[in-house]
Each structure stands twice: as C-alpha cells, then as structure tokens.
Amino acid sequence: MHRLKHWIGLWLLLGFSLAQQNIPVTFTYDPPMALEVRSVSLRGSFNDWAELPMQKTEEGVWQVTVALPPGVVQYKYFINGQWPQNMCEDETFGTPQVDAEAEGCTDDGQGGQNAIREIGRLAEAPPAEAGLALEHDPNTPQFVSQAAGRLSVRFQVPQGRIRSAVLQAEQAYPMALQLTTPEGEVWRAALPLTVRTYRIRVVDKEGQEQTFGPFEVPAKVLRAVDWVAGRVGYQIFPDRFWNGDPSNDHRALETSQARFDRTWQGRRPYLSRWSDPPGEYHCCQQYYGGDLAGVLQRLPHLRGLGVNLVYFNPLFDAGSAHGYDTHDYVRVSPKFGDNALLKRVLAELKRQGIRAIFDFVPNHTGLGHWAFQDVVKNGPKSRYWNWYFIRQWPFTPGDGRAYVGWADLGSLPKLNTANPEVQDYLIRVSRFWLNFGFDGIRVDVANEISTEFVQKWRAALKALKPEVYLVGEVWDVRPQYVQGDQFDSLMNYSVGRGGSPPAFGGVLGFARGGPLQNGRRALGELARVYALYPEAVAAMGFNLIGSHDTPRVLTDLGGGGLGDRPSLEALARLRLAMAVLYALPGASVIFQGDECGFTGERGQWPVNELYRYPLQWARCDRSTLAHFQLLGRLRGQLAALKSPVFRTHLGEGPLLAFLRGEPGVGELLAAFNNSLETASLPLPEGRWRDVVEGRVYQGKLSLAGLGWRYLERVP
C-alpha cells in the first residue's frame, strides 16, 4: 500500500520537482544622490523577512539575485538599519519609488507599504520526458481531508499537462480541475467516507493514460468542524459596541493598568460619554461604557444581518479598554457586567441559533494578574517566579527592561507557556469557559506561544468538546499551524503584520481597483491559499477583511477617516469587497460597524486606533446596512455557500469569478467587476440564474461597474 517513501520514490522516478521551476530575479536599489548608503538588505515574504544582504556594484547601485518560484511577492529594502515607510514613495530613501522595478505597493499592516513584484507565470509545461510530476500524499492533509461528510482527495500537477482524471475506488469518481496557480494545477474529487483505498488515473494532453497508486486513506484524517461552514460572523469589541448599563461604567477605573504600573506618568484613566471625541489614550485608558447589557439590547440588529457566530474581543477582568492585559482569566470584567450576565447572554445567543467564541490571551498577562503580583511581592521566592521571564530583581512593575513583555511592553509581561504549570493553568481556564457555554476560542498572538503548549491544549479541549472551534491569530499564510495538531483555522486577514503577506490580501486589493489590483492577481492569490490549505481548513476558515487591529474597510477603500463622509464610489467598493468575502468558504466575519459604513484610520499616538471608536448607531448608512442584510440572507439560503469547495473560473482585467459548491446543478458562480465601466463576463457552459433578480443567463452576462452577481447553476 501507499506510504510516504513510495511518494518520494515517485518524485525520483519522474525526475521532476516543482522547486526546479524557480526563476532568477535581480533586485536593485539605486539610492538618491544625496543619500549616503552604508548597508542594504532585501527582506520579503519569500524568506520570512530575514536579512538578505545586497552588494554595492561599481555603478553605485545595490543588487542581489534570488531564485524564486512563480507568484506574487512582497518585500522591502532595509537601508542603513531602517525600514522605508512606503516602498512606493519615501522622501528619504527614494522618490517616486524606492525600487523603480516594483509593480506597485500594498499595505504592510503597520501603516506603511510593501513593494509588490509578480514573478513570471509558467510559460510552458516541463518537457514530456520529465513525466507528469503528479504530487499526492494521502498522509498530508493538503491532499486528503474530510469536510461536509465527504472525503476530499486532491493532487497537484504542473499547468497544462493533463486532459482529465478519474479517482478509482469501488467505483469511478471523475476529478475536476479545481485550482490554477502559478505553481501548478490542483485536481479534486469528493468520495464517501467508506472509501479506504483508491488509485488515480490521468490522461495527459497527448491522450496517454497513467495510473498512480494504490493509495490508502489514513486511519485518522483531518476533519472540519462542520458547523462553522457558511456562518455569518460578527466581531464585538465590547467597550465600543453599546452602553446598555451606565451604572457599571465607573468599574472600568477599578482595575485599570495605571493602578499597577509604577512607571505611569501620564494622565489618569477616564470615562467618556458615548459620542465624546477620541482623546488621549483612546487605545487603552479612555473608557466609553460598552458592556454585555448593550450586546443583549442590540441582538435584533445582529439577527437582521443573518449573524449566527459572534466573536467577542476580551471579556475578562483586565487593565485596559482593549482587554489584552488580563488580570483574572475566569472573571468577567466588572465594567461589562459579571459572570451571571455573560451566562444569560450566551443562553440568549444559543436560543437564537448564534454560536459564540471568546478571545483568549495565553501569551501574556496584565500587571494586575495575581500571579504577576505575587512575583512583585515575593520576587524569586514566589511560586510563580518561573511563570514569567524575569531579567532583574528587584524591579519596578511597568519597567519593560526588567522582564520580557509582549512587544517589549512593560504592561504586558510574557507568560512562559513552556512551563507545565502555566500550561495546565491555561488549559483549566479554557475548559472552564467551554463548560460555561462558549463554542470556540480565538487565541491572541498564536505564533508567539509554545507549540508544545498549543498541541497539548488542543488535545485537551477536543477531548472535552470535539466540535470546539479553535482559531489562531496568525496574520499570513502558514499551513503548518493547520495540520490537525494545533488550530482549526487562522485569522485570514486581508493585510499582513510586520511586512508579512496576508492570506486574503487579494480581496481588499481587488476591491481597491487599479491596473495592478486586477482579477488575475486576486484569483491567483486566493487559489494559492486554497491550494496550500487542506479543504477541511477552507471549510472552517475564519475570513475577515477588517477587524479591531486594522483600519476600517471603508477607510482602506478611500472612504476617508473617522467622521468623514465617504464618496459613493468608496461605498460601492465596500459593497464589492463584502460580496467577495461572503462568497468564500468557511465563516465570513465582519467587524462591528462595517455594516453601517463607518470609517476609522490608524491615527497617531496617543489618539490612535480610531477604527475602535464607539459605534454611533444613529449615523448608520441604511443602504450599506441593506447590502449586508442581503448578503446575510443569501449566505443562509444558498447551499453552495456552505460547501468547502472553491474552484477558479476567471481572473482577467477588472473581472474576478470563481465557483462554489460541488460541480453540477446548484453550484454557484460568484462574479465581480472592480472597474467603473460595465464589463462582459463569459459564463461556464449551461444555464445560470441570478439569485437576486431571478433572471437566467447563458453564454455571457454584463457586470455593471463595481458590480457583483451570485449565479446558481440550474437544469
């Protein structure tokens, strides 16, 4: 039967590896004449943003050549030990572009811009004597996983090499071309769960047939948490959602960070009225009074949006408005209510068919956490001394030089998640809240905690509640985290953090429009994500293009900053972006207020993070709200949008189109136009009914400028 050694042997026999498709690419930095340059390095998405030194040539330019696979890369030059803020325009390091050969720029997640370059597509298939180079290993979830009660089996080959494929088990199952990426083609079939062995039979472009296998389905296959598929998610940032009970507002000041930070020299924490402007410490110590009572009062609004999944930002006792500096992991913050009120909220959500996940912060605590306070009091004699990373003793709480803190912040002392006592404590906390009534957990800065802990944590929680949904805050494409031993999904952001490439950057980029943000690029980036991630992971994807950590989507699309009046074009681009988001597999998650067309930029310290400003409900744009309500209804009605299947159809100029659901009657074609002009879209064969207007189309249809359509295949 098939084993990994046999898979490696196939590669050696066929004499071809996709890694051999790498293309030499030269990066050049030609500095301004007035700038003295001492050192330059290249850092990008292709080398995990590590340093790659560039050499100065006789002509005075700096260069390095790198062999890269086809696809879109993001990068920056690191010049004289500094990052250019914007690779497309920087007054110090280069104008108009730091790299004149860049094809454009994209958000780096830190208020700046990375350069973009697209490495050439495969111009032609490898020579015939290289063989088909079929890549398939049933022990790898990328190729075999379980979702929607079926077994997904996939393989990858170079582009343009095969004409058809059949998976042969107890009967023949036709395989369909699912994805076309710069790295190759992905073919797919869905099988009954009873299938144990199979072969793959392909016919190449010359009509020659080859059979691969037999392959054996592993005893344990990565399985999707099926309830996630097709959900409409809503992210609630409690302090800024709605103030339902003003009587608890003053409680925010009782456990504020300033009470524990002995280095604190700024203005004291303070309360604001709901419509007060953002002031000093808008991020952290300006409180507006949002609470759990406000969530209960606004539930009809969520139901009108079709919401059936709520993601709460931190609810537990903490030292700030954002709540990521936990003081007590099992106590609801008094400013939000208490544990009994949270129990009531969860019961009401469940009654209305809404699942709930909570934000968990195992990487660090706040200064007021009881374990850290014990260390402050007892030093090395504290039984919790090894829960943290103390550099010097004695120390002043708040002094980030004395101990390790997240992002070197003294207010966020880092927990030692490799310590078995810490691991057991955090697992007990997680089990407590799952037993309390939550359905899932979102883990903050998941890439910064011990892998051993995450694996142990997952095993314990899945044993308690097999259908628990575990989401890791990882901003970019990282398949290693979703192989069945850590997370079910990552947070599929539309922007990267620290220069990293985002999972769904193509969605937001496409909605922005312009010649560099075309349909081909967007479709290629989406196809790459779905080729790398197991189909079970796609089925439970946590997909968003705006959150509490990013500028408002409408602001990103040209809608202006906080309080600005967005243009009609910006609002149309918001509708387009959300139509794409709602058509993707998994759960489509929106940040509170995006459905109202609210704006909010990053801002400057201390008046920053303006996307977290309280929701001014009376200013909710009714036409934008109606669009979200329509998308929510369609999400709930169309079976194809609950499917794990995503297939590429067309990406060309301003047009983007992909298919959802199993091939055949009922599958959905999602089509989008990011230009201001009407465009003609060629349709797949057959009859297609517009699910909004009811009209049936064949052959082609016209897409209005900034328009979108969902079309269902009919007999």
Rounded CA-CA distance 261/49 in Å is: 34
Strand partners, 173: 167
Q: What tokens appear for 64 in the block?
A: 């390095």
Give buried/exposed letters for 110-140 (b at 16+ CB in 10 A, else e): eebbbbbbbbeebeebbeeeebbbbbbbbbb
Per-residue CA distances from 118 to 68, 73, 121, 309, 388 (Å): 10, 6, 8, 37, 44
Per-residue CA distances from 452 to 103, 399, 447 (Å): 41, 29, 12
Strands 440-443 and 355-360: parallel
Rounded CA-CA distance 475/494 in Å is: 8
Rounded CA-CA distance 389/526 in Å is: 40
Known active-site residue 348: no
Beta carbons of 278 and 286 less than 8 angstroms apart: yes
Find, among 470, 463, 456, 383, the residue nearest to 426 by Cα.
456
Find, among 420, 422, 421, 384, the residue nearest to 403 by Cα.
384
Contacts of 58 (CB under 8 A, 6+ apart): none
Q: What tokens appear for 289 in the block?
A: 């009074």
Q: Tally Cβ neighbours within 10 Å of residue 633.
A: 16
Backbone angles phi, psi at 534, to 5 degrees: -55, 150
Single out the catalytic residue among 183, 473, 556, 712: 473
Find, among 372, 273, 275, 356, the residue nearest to 319 by Cα.
372
Find, among 429, 471, 556, the residue nearest to 235 by Cα.
471
Backbone angles phi, psi at 53, to 5 degrees: -60, 140
Q: What tokens appear for 1 in the block?
A: 């039967």
Rounded CA-CA distance 525/503 in Å is: 8
Backbone angles phi, psi at 340, to 5 degrees: -65, -40
Which amino acid is it at 187?
W
Cα 249 to the center of its chain, rounded Å = 33
Beta carbons of 68 and 46 less than 8 angstroms apart: yes
Question: 3-state secondary structure string, 579-612?
Answer: HHHHCCCCEEEEECCHHHCCCCCCEECCEECHHH
Rounded CA-CA distance 65/62 in Å is: 11
Find, among 677, 533, 590, the residue nearest to 147 by Cα.
533
Instruction: Give the chain's length.
Output: 715
Known active-site residue 473: yes
Strand partners, 77: 42
Backbone angles phi, psi at 667, to 5 degrees: -70, 160
Single out the catalytic residue among 108, 444, 476, 525: 444
Strands 104-107 and 113-119: antiparallel
Contacts of 81 (CB under 8 A, 6+ apart): 39
Beta carbons of 361 and 444 less than 8 angstroms apart: yes
Residue numbers annotated as active site: 444, 473
